[in-house]
Structure 1
Amino acid sequence: MVASAYLKEWEDRNTFQAETRQGKGLRLLRTAALYGPNAAGKSTLVQALAFMQGQVVNSARESQQDDPIEVTPFKLTAESRAADSEFSAIFIEQGVRYEYGFRCNTLRFTEEWLYAYPLGRPQKWFHRVLDPQTLQDAYDFSPSFQGGRQRQVWAVETRANALFLSRCMQSNNEQLKPVFQWFSQRLRVIATPNALGSDYTARRCEDVADRTKVLEFLNAADLSIDGIRLESRPFSSDMLPDHLPEVMRQELMSSFKGKEFMELKFQRKDASTGEMVEFEEHEESDGTRALLAFAGPWLDVLENHRVLVVDELDSSLHPLVVRHLVSLLQHAGTQAQLLFTTHDTTLLSQKLLRRDQVWFIEKNAEREARLYPLSEFSPRENEAIERGYLNGRYGGIPNLQELDFYGG
């Protein structure tokens, strides 16, 4: 998400200057779009971010001593099936750049590290490495990482299947809090948009001002909704899908017993009488429900400068609505960021994305996913990017084969 130093188009709209403790820092992109054929690895990239976030937030808090780590290695070579998986992220939080990462297998974390740049130069705060001989973790702490003897206590108390960062936050470590908060609060990952419900949007609508914002958000996409009404409803078994296994149904009924749920009612005026007519959420189109589900999270991202990662943003949404969502974020004037996967190539021809905001992913001869930017091809400023992509100039498209079903 670092903006190219060579591209100047739409700089004020599509990029922002990251503030650091040393003043103006890197110029960052507000959005980045990722294109590629089905099964190329787009969703895996999003799932990897979600996995990393989940381990940071929950590994020390929720896992038990012998619980497996739910990580899946690359399976198409014998070497990778037996190897550890590595995850790393570079980000800025509260004016400081951090580089954090870890390696793991299904049994344990085998390496973990954190570098910080509070003064512009890297400081190695900690490095944890598994000793293959003793099967014990060795820790290297720098003087920049505060805590004295307490650091060793935290290290001893960190289980093999838990992250040291996650364990430190159980003791409310102030120095590591910005790193933890970037994963727990700044980053928002929507790996399955079709499963995204409207619960968060409905909760926001309990506030009258937020309800107005949600209504404006929906109508900006030309949905012609005149009002939203909330109705509180106690949980009942008919809220659960019919195909749910009986054991799971009983567990959910026990968990939600006595709880209240907010339901949204959409109001539209009768064209002849002006009377308000109500529609249930299930009576709305897939696109309207999808946009409703996005409304609350999207407003939250804009207001709180979060980093939103969405797989298949165009799922159930009209191309113009997708453009509208991206434009909202790019014109917001916030430091919010959006990374999304999509098959909607019309975005490439609408003067919406800079050349450094477009990425592709495809599989190589070993069927490994390779992620690369459009800028590798040095496209001209007025180049027809959509046409070039669909014609295979940049790769990242399916290799389709003819099928002869009738033997002719």
Structure 2
Amino acid sequence: MLLEFIFKNSFSYKEEAYFSMEAVKGTSIRNEFDKIGKHRILKSAIIFGPNASGKSNMIKSLKSFRNLILKNDIQENPYPTYAGNEDPIFYQIVIYANNNIYRYSVSYLKEEILQESLEMEKNGDFEIYFQRKKMKYPILPDELKPLVNKTRKDNLFLITAKTFNDKPSLAVFRWFRNRLIFISRDTPPLLNQAYKIHKNIKEKEKLLNFLKAADLNITDFEVVENNSISFHITGGLDEILSLSKRSRGLKGYNMTIRHKAFDGVNDNGQFSLDLSAESDGTKKLIALAIILVSYNNSTILIDEFDDSFHVELSKAMIEVFNSNKQSNQFILTSHELALMDSGFKKEQIYFTEKADRSTTELYSVYDFKSEENRQDYSYVKRYQKGMFGAIPEILVGKLKESLEE
């Protein structure tokens, strides 16, 4: 699970940005997982803001951090600094993995790792496990010292250590690889997972019941193997290249969806559609249903969550995300203001705003002093009155004038 993400000089974020998935002391105990030590981890968060304000760039920053770790070569990885400057990028994350709390950070230039550290929480405080400053290691366990010479200046020591089966490094790496999932329009369908569900009677029934409850008129589905290669994607298209190097003989899959049909007299008929012919909303809901049935203890980020969804379906999905019926964590971006009043706590609602029309600021409702003692959830009206900022400044007159001859 994700507890905290701090990043700087990444995409539209020039200054340090802070994103937390921990409940705030004094707020109601809901929309949370079971307490882990002193930590109350939130089940979901949602980010609002004008177009081009940086909502997606928060997700892109975390995705860039993930790519850095999975590819382990900063020279082959995009270098998404603010406005293309040459200052270092900084990423820091706090996660819960393998029954431990880890804090991992890295600062790097296009051709060199400047700083890297891994810490583990013990008795409520973080203790440094290893620390790197360029090619020097001020803090390092004795068993990892032989690995220093095996790490180049443009490679992460975390990856060298995990390659030699260092348990803390492995735990962090595997969380990024297996537990951090990105969903967007260009995310390939999780057909390999759908195939496994299709073969499991109990899980298939669970998935079908979920889709039926969403009022899609879906009665059945079938997943069959074909001769093309399909990858086990947990992070989107960016993972295909890295996976293709180690994938041999994997099967591809086709998914067919069966719908209820009405012939004017009764609704006992059925018709079938290939998944590719389904609407974007249906494909997106199927992907989410597959995740909810197949995945546990994962962090799922969904950009433009409400895109292709009716607002009532979006609200229903948020209620599911925050329920104790599922064990995943969801981070969403949205333009649909009605979702602001969908039972979120104040620390679950974030905004993005261009501070000087170029750099992005990220903040939550909880950051406002006026909200400290408020326990009601009617945030939309206060947002529309400008109390939280992050409102687009649209010059309607200028838009019309631009169309004049």
TM-score range (shorter-chain normalised) is 0.7 to 0.9
Amino acid at match of 2:350: W
User: How big is the shift at 1:33?
Assistant: 0.6
Aligned 8 A contact 1:266 1:281 in 2: no
Work out the CA distance in 2 between the residues paired with 1:109 and 1:344. Answer: 40
Going from structure 1 to structure 2, the CA distance change for 1:178 and 1:119 (only over 3 Å counts) comes to farther
Q: Hey, what's the Cα distance between the residues in 1 that align with 2:205 and 2:138? A: 52
SS in 2 for 1:305: coil
Specify the SS of the correspondent of 1:211. Answer: helix
Match of 2:117 in 1: 113
CA contact (8 A) 2:300 2:330 kept: yes
> Contact conserved, 1:96 with 1:116, CA < 8 A, in 2?
yes
8 Å Cα contact 1:43-1:311 kept in structure 2: yes
| Correspondence for 1:41 among 48, 54, 57 | 54
Alignment deviations for residues 121-154 of structure 1 (CA, whole Å, 9 cap, x no partner): 2211111112xxxxxx101225xx4xx2x42221
In the alignment, structure 1 segments of 5+ residues that lack a partner are 131-136, 237-251
1:53-202 equivalence runs, <5 A? 53-59=66-72, 63=73, 67-75=75-83, 81-130=85-134, 137-142=135-140, 145=141, 148=142, 150-190=143-183, 192-202=184-194
Do 1:36 and 1:42's aligned partners in 2 also have CA atoms closer than 8 Å?
Answer: yes
2:402 paired residue among 398, 402, 405? 405
Matched position secondary structure for 1:88: strand
Pick closer, same or farther for the CA change 1:265–1:232 going to 2, 3 Å. farther
Determine the C-alpha separation between the residues in 2 that align with 1:298 and 1:270: 30
- The alpha-carbon distance between structure 1 residues 406 and 173, as it changes in their structure 2 partners (threshold 3 A), is closer
> Residue 97 of structure 1: CA displacement?
2.0
Query: For residues 389 and 188 of structure 1, do their structure 2 counterparts lie closer, same or farther at Cα, with a shift above 3 Å needed?
Result: same
1:17–1:27 contact (8 Å) kept in structure 2 = yes
1:128 partner amino acid: R
* Matched-pair contact (CA < 8 Å) for 2:320–2:326: no
Q: CA deviation at 1:86?
A: 0.4
Structure 2 counterpart of 1:25: 38
1:313-356 deviation digits (Å, cap 9, x = unpaired): 11211112222222112113454211111111111234x21122
Cα deviation, residue 260, structure 1: 4.0
Residue 107 of structure 1 and its aligned partner are, at CA, apart by: 1.2
Q: Does 1:305 align with 2:291?
A: no
Aligned position for 1:388: 382
Say yes or no: does 1:230 pair with 2:250. no
> Contact 2:292–2:328 at 8 Å: present in 1 too?
no
Letter in structure 1 aligned against 2:95: F
SS of 2:38's equivalent? Answer: strand
What's the C-alpha RMSD, in Å, of the aligned pairs?
Answer: 2.6
Alpha-carbon displacement from aligned partner over 1:16-67 (angstroms, at most 9, x marks no partner): 3332xxxx421121111111111111111111111112222331xxx4xx94
For the structure 1 residues 281 and 177, does the alpha-carbon distance in structure 2 shift closer, same or farther, using more than 3 Å as the test?
Answer: closer
Is the CA contact (8 Å cut-off) linking 1:101 and 1:114 kept in structure 2? yes
Q: Which residue of 1 aligns with 2:258?
A: 266
- Paired letter, 2:58: L
Q: Distance in 1 between matches of 2:255 and 2:329?
A: 30
- C-alpha change, 1:282 and 1:54, in structure 2 (3 Å) is closer
TM value normalised by structure 1: 0.80
Q: Which amino acid aligns with 2:324?
A: A
SS at match of 1:161: coil
Cα pair 1:85 1:103 within 8 Å, conserved? yes
Aligned length: 360
Q: Match of 1:29, SS?
A: coil
Unaligned 5+ segments in structure 2 are 1-20, 230-243
Where 1:39 maps in the other structure, the secondary structure is coil
For structure 1, which segment, 356-365 or 93-102, has the greater mean C-alpha deviation from structure 2 after superposition? 93-102
For residue 345 of structure 2, what is the aligned residue in structure 1?
354
- Which residue of the partner structure matches residue 238 of structure 2? none
Q: Comparing 269-278 with 358-367, which one deviates more in the overlay? A: 269-278
Superposed CA deviations along residues 189-238 of structure 1, whole A, max 9, x for unmatched, are 23x334442524532323332222221221221111111123333349xx
What SS does the corresponding residue of 2:167 show, helix, strand or coil? coil
Whole-Å separation in 2 of the counterparts to 1:233 and 1:366: 50
| Corresponding residue number in structure 2 for 1:321 | 313
Give 3-state SS (helix, strand or coil) of 2:128's partner.
strand
Give the Å deviation of 1:365.
Answer: 1.8
Quick one: structure 1 residues 71 and 18, their matched pair in 2 at CA, closer, same or farther if it must change by over 3 Å?
Answer: farther
CA contact (8 A) 1:128 1:139 kept: yes
Q: Which residue of 2 aligns with 1:247?
A: none
Given that 1:235 and 1:256 are in contact with CA atoms closer than 8 Å, whether structure 2 keeps it comes out as no
Larger radius of gyration: 1
Shift of 1:162: 1.5
What are the residue-to-residue correspondences of 1:256-295 with 2, within 5 Å? 259-271=251-263, 272=266, 274-295=268-289
Q: How much identity, in percent, do the aligned residues show?
A: 22
TM-score for the superposition, normalised by structure 2: 0.81
Residue type at the aligned position of 2:24:
S
CA shift, 1:358, in A, is 0.5
Which residue does 2:18 correspond to in 1? none
Distance 1:283 1:360, change over 3 A: same
Give how far 1:96 is off: 2.4
Cα offsets for 1:132-190 (capped at 9, x unmatched)? xxxxx101225xx4xx2x42221211122221111111111124322222222222223
Contact persistence 2:228–2:252 (CA under 8 A)? yes
CA contact (8 A) 1:226 1:269 kept: no
